[in-house]
Amino acid sequence: MSLVNMPGAGANEVVLRVENLCKVFRLPGAHGQAFKALNQLNLAVTRGRTLAVVGESGSGKSTMAQLVMKLQRPSAGRVSLRLDSGMRDIADLPARELYRKIQMVFQDPYASLNPRQRIWRIVSAPLCNYERLSRDERQQHALHYLQQVGLGEAQLHAFPHMLSGGQRQRVNIARALATKPEILILDEPLSALDVSVQAQIINLLLDLQRDLGLTYIFISHDLAVVRHFADQVLVMKSGDMVEWGDVDQVLENPAHVYTRQLLQSVPGRLIDLPVRTQSASVVADG
Ligand SMILES: Nc1ncnc2c1ncn2[C@@H]1O[C@H](COP(=O)(O)OP(=O)(O)OP(=O)(O)O)[C@@H](O)[C@H]1O
Ligand SMILES: [Mg+2]
């Protein structure tokens, strides 16, 4: 696959590229059978845009995210990230540099927050990897990022259990923003939330993208949300890419029978999805 002809690539600058990425897990047992969770995945993500990754459970979406975040090592292939000096293989990047550029928001807003820490400490923790900060400075930074996600002083000194599910996911987003990353990986960030709260978080993510120029990789099961939220979509099945392209094109007129099945399995959605404030989606190359 040529570099321009890959999921996510468009006319604009590519900020993250995945090439021939593979992940093989050894299954437990005497013979340690190999299991391919990701098979030769290629994708590119364009600055300021959203690439959605969809597919049934077990199709390799989170594995891809973990490889991009260097939380696991690839069996083959590579991930590269745009730095000032050009595209760099993340295998050669120290964690400090990588996590300045790219952060992740996980599915379960509660499990990903330390229950024994106050919110200001949680939100400002990533910054402490980069700067020596006093307690006052940490609280000021935390307040700034909490305000960016629609929270404020009322939550600053709270513990996670005192917040609602939606507020906790806002805290996760605030923490992800604290190192001023350019790319956010959102691994099913809505699926643990009530339907009414999902729309608020979608709105927040769209506002942040517009205001901060963020680039998103958005992993989701929910094709109705993907349609409103993403520019391009990559459909995965059993570790393979099934199809990809402009969201409207793929979801209105899927080329692959698997995508049609996924679309048919989406229950009728009644939540009020926000209208996109972004410009129209990128046209896929090829
Ligand atoms: N550490 C691991 N060891 C062995 N197998 C694993 C490991 N992590 C993931 N897998 C397997 O790899 C496959 C892909 O898993 P992955 O979590 O990436 O899927 P997913 O698309 O994110 O699914 P879901 O929609 O349920 O979150 C699954 O079959 C899973 O069981
Ligand atoms: Mg997953």
Per-residue tokens: 10: 């468009």
- pLDDT for the residue 83: 93
Whole-model pTM above 0.85?
A: yes
- pLDDT for the residue 263: 85
- pLDDT for the residue 123: 97
Residue 255 resides in a domain:
yes
Ligand nearest to C-alpha 106: 2
Q: Which atom of ligand 1 is the closest one to the Cα of 236?
A: 21
**Ligand 1 contact, 25 CB (< 6 A):** yes
**Is residue 272 very low, low, confident or very high in pLDDT (cuts 50, 70, 90)?**
very low
Residue 109 resides in a domain:
yes
Residue 284 resides in a domain:
no
Residue 272 resides in a domain:
no
Residue 278 resides in a domain:
no
Residue 151 resides in a domain:
yes
What percent of the chain has pLDDT above 70?
A: 88
Report the residue among 21, 24, 25 best suited for mutation to probe ligand 1: largest number of ligand atoms under 8 A from its CB. 25
Average pLDDT, rounded, for the chain: 88
How many domains would you assign to the chain? 1
Residue 6 resides in a domain:
no
pLDDT of 270 > 50? The answer is no
Residue 222 resides in a domain:
yes
Cβ < 5 A residues, ion ligand 2: 61-62
Domain that holds residue 48: 14-264
What CATH number has the domain bearing residue 138? Answer: 3.40.50.300
